[in-house]
Structure 1
């Protein structure tokens, strides 16, 4: 075994010990295939009011502009599929599964910092950075290149082993590691995600118009939700899982093993009236370290009112 292979194996073993469900490696280089796709997507204004998506175009496509001398991108996946889907009652308000527990930024960042510390202790002077959705990194592209899965027609990464309910994080390192390489696309002729999207956000296979997505309307959009999508939200008040829920590959989803991602006990008993009457105090308590804080109580109430009216 060469030193490069040895270092790669040790990092993957440690990632598994830290609770990650996958760890793969790709070479840090310019994302040539993604560049024209990203440019076209931005030119068609599919990012809506997510202006940050248009920032740092060059850095988004080249990790060597984020970490000097970068040689490898280490991609990790963390399953977040819950033991029980909330809520269980018919007609109740719905949260995207990723928002049930603690904000994933905290959970993954802590684990990746531990992985980085391990690299420094066991391998030596390695320059690198931790990334969890917090910088211009095209995580799906790197996940695909590392063999984590393929990018499905709904543009989420799909793993043959665990479906698509997982978070993605990266380490960009100036350490040479053995790259894994991508796997093939197994979507075939299936169009369930396109057919199921109530707002037609999946405008064509492998293209999502972000400005039409329920997740965009309920999280990213800061102003009033347009009337033309009224009646199309199917009771989603924060995020949306429709395109993933209908994907046949998610029959392989299994409950996660990360206690921090379990919902706050109060959340498991929330009813429609609890949501409609939620106070600032309860919001702060239940969603203290949750991704739901991003929309603030005001945004959550706007979403509930939009569905209720």
Structure 2
């Protein structure tokens, strides 16, 4: 089996499918991550995301997801928009949710990717993931040389910043592995200093239970009063720690038509958001990730951010 030839094919195919980066790491148990993950969970930093406690072993060992796994292929897909809709003093949603739900867009690409691998290389066992299973995406991305994990716990890439989605192929195929890159955060603490809810208590540790993204999306009950007046108009998700990161000055607009925002979304002002009806919500966010919070959840967030 020609490892180098197969590796070249996979990297070329990733480019063809529109991925901005493709890196490969050896599939092995993430020994260093185990105590970190355990400590984070024990400190309750996952808030009410109880699913984070499940499948502890699977999170750390890719061979539990794909028996005989040899390689973890990491892919980055750009979503940085042409126009930042969060700059007009209205309510804001995270940039990743402007267009069609990324799970749907990228999953289709990954299915095509696996089909191409089977066609070119033959019988390869593997699974594809896009934020959809207990996979420690950022750790694998770091190991595959896609970037380093920043102080805001997100993956940062020297050429592209951090406005991209992560996806993985876990394969029982021997491939050439890439090495990790160094950490370029240096002494910068912009993400920590600018987080209005103090969700980054120390470098490289995010207290998920205080993160605006968690509070507006994952939390299904009432938002605790301690966060009143701290939302800075965010109604779904939050981009603050990315917007202030110096590396994001290198972000370039994506070329994915599916991620273009609905025309109505581009022109919405505060009053439009506050008077949003179920019908308009269903139209604008028909295939969007914003549907995760449901109409009632979005109204709750707007009402909380308003006060």
Task: Please provide the CA RMSD for this pair.
Answer: 0.8
Which digits, 9 at most, give the CA deviation of each residue in 1:7-29, with x for residues without a partner? 01111101100011001100000
Q: Of 235, 240, 252, which aligns to 1:254?
A: 252
Which digits, 9 at most, give the CA deviation of each residue in 1:52-87, with x for residues without a partner? 111000000000000011000010000110000004
2:104 match: 106
1:163 match: 161
SS of 1:237's partner is: strand
Which digits, 9 at most, give the CA deviation of each residue in 1:101-139, with x for residues without a partner? 111101111111111000000000000001011110000
1:303 match: 301
1:61 match: 60
Q: Of 227, 231, 234, which aligns to 1:233?
A: 231
What is the alpha-carbon distance in structure 1 between the residues aligned to residue 177 and residue 11 of structure 2? 12
Length, aligned pairs only: 307
What is the alpha-carbon distance in structure 2 between the residues aligned to residue 224 and residue 180 of structure 1? 45
What is the alpha-carbon distance in structure 1 between the residues aligned to residue 179 and residue 54 of structure 2? 28
2:194 match: 196
What is the alpha-carbon distance in structure 2 between the residues aligned to residue 123 and residue 50 of structure 1? 39
1:46 match: 45
Out of 37-46 and 256-265, give the one that drifted further.
256-265
SS of 2:85's partner is: coil
Does the 8 Å contact 1:87/1:268 carry over to 2? no
What is the alpha-carbon distance in structure 2 between the residues aligned to residue 62 and residue 181 of structure 1? 19
1:36 match: 35
SS of 1:77's partner is: strand
1:92 match: 90
- Give 1:273 shift: 1.1
What is the alpha-carbon distance in structure 2 between the residues aligned to residue 167 and residue 188 of structure 1? 24
What is the alpha-carbon distance in structure 1 between the residues aligned to residue 7 and residue 262 of structure 2? 37
Find runs of 4+ consecutive structure 1 residues off by over 4 angstroms.
none
Q: Are 2:210 and 1:205 aligned?
A: no
Does the 8 Å contact 1:24/1:146 carry over to 2? yes
- Output the TM-score relative to the length of structure 1: 0.98
**Residues 87 and 240 from structure 1, CA distance in 2 versus in 1: closer, same or farther, beyond 3 angstroms?**
closer
SS of 1:204's partner is: coil
SS of 1:208's partner is: coil
Structure 2 residues without counterparts, runs of 5 or longer: none
What is the alpha-carbon distance in structure 1 between the residues aligned to residue 32 and residue 158 of structure 2? 23
